[in-house]
Structure formats: structure tokens, C-alpha cells
Chain A
Amino acid sequence: DGGITQSPKYLFRKEGQNVTLSCEQNLNHDAMYWYRQDPGQGLRLIYYSQIVNDFQKGDIAEGYSVSREKKESFPLTVTSAQKNPTAFYLCASSIDADTQYFGPGTRLTVL
């Protein structure tokens, strides 16, 4: 079964902690993306990667970091520098520059 998986589904973070969200795809897509979704604000791009070992900042990269060591994996770390991390995080991938396919999401809550 081809697709995009994200884990965990729910994640709780204490103040001052770094947490890492996992995103894996077996679609053989070159490009991968991380978005944040907040009520009433739509999807906002955090980071994207067009190819292994390369990634670019999106519109709201502050307080986040990523790595792209393997084609199929694009983990996102939410650092303690992100002041308002509670949100729904979505990972996507695409084989070309346009059509993106999304994973099921991770809901992060700060305690």
C-alpha cells in the first residue's frame, strides 16, 4: 500500500521541550513538505525539500528544524523556540512541482 504516514497521531509537549514529528512516504516522491494548520488560517508552509540533503524555509520556519537524509523520510522538530506550537501538522509529498499528497496529520498540544 503506497502512501504517506505520520506519527504519532497525537503528541503532547511540555514547555521547553523539543519534539520530533515523523513523516515517511513510499511513493518515491522527490519533494516533501511540512505545513501547519490552525483554525481559520488555512495551511501555512513550514519547510520543504525538493531533493535529499536539501531543504528550504517556508513562510513560518522560525522555531522549527528539519532534515532530509533519506528520500522517504522528512522529520520535523518543533523546538522550544516555537512559542505557539499547538496546531495540526501535515506532511505532504509530490513527484512534480504541483500536485501534493498529504499524510493523516499529527496534532501537537502544549501542556
Chain B
Amino acid sequence: QKEVEQDPGPLSVPEGAIVSLNCTYSNSAFQYFMWYRQYSRKGPELLMYTYSSGNKEDGRFTAQVDKSSKYISLFIRDSQPSDSATYLCAMGNTGFQKLVFGTGTRLLVSP
């Protein structure tokens, strides 16, 4: 079993839809959680960072962490064609130098 599981997609939605992207993980020691957005042939861009459990909102993006279920989510409201990209989750331990990444979910938002 992989340490972090992420559905590769692609996930296709119409413009304006609410998008839900998810990752599950097995290591209960993970304390911080991130979402990155990666456009084709570009480096990943940090979108959201969350420490421990709870929600964090930034504009159209909301990150949720449920440590009891070992499940994290990224919600995108009013999705736009420019949101079409691959979304990577990443997580790690406090003081730990190595992040563990999901394989990424490809999102396609059609006009």
C-alpha cells in the first residue's frame, strides 16, 4: 500500500462547478499537509498549507484535513478553465525533511 493515495483522474467538470479533490494516507504521524497545482511541463506551485486538522480557506480554494480518517480534501468553488491542471497533495512530519507526495489528480474544466 502506498503511503499516500490519490486518484489520477482525469476529473472533468463544467465551468462554475464545485470541485472536490482528495487524498488518503496511512502514516498517522503526518502533521502538515499541502496542495500544489502543476500546469503541464511546469513546476508545482504551492496552493494551500495546513498544519494538523481543520479547514483553511483562500479565495475560491478550501483545504480540509481530517486526521481521524487520514483524509484530506481540496475544494475549488466556481471552477474556471484556468484551473485545469494536475493537483498534487503532499504531507510530512514536523521537523521531517522529506515530504511524501500523491501521484496527482488531473483536473479538466471545460468552458
A: which residues have CB within 8 A of B?
A: 4, 6, 31, 40-43, 45, 48, 50, 56, 58, 88, 90, 97-105, 107
> Complex Cα distance A43/B3, Å?
13
* A90-B44, A102-B44 known; A40-B97 Cβ under 8 A: no
How distant is the Cα of A40 from the Cα of B2 in the complex, in angstroms? 13
Tell me whether A104 and B43 are in contact (CB under 8 A). yes
Which B residues have a C-beta under 8 Å from some C-beta of A?
6, 8, 32, 34, 36, 41-46, 49, 88, 90, 92, 94-99, 101-104
How many contacts between A and B, using CB within 8 angstroms? 54
Q: Nearest Cβ in chain B — how far from A60, in angstroms? A: 12
Given A40-B103, A42-B88: A48 touches B46 (CB 8 Å cut-off): no
* Minimum Cβ distance to chain B for residue A96 (Å): 9
- A contact residues around B103 at 8 Å (CB): 40-42
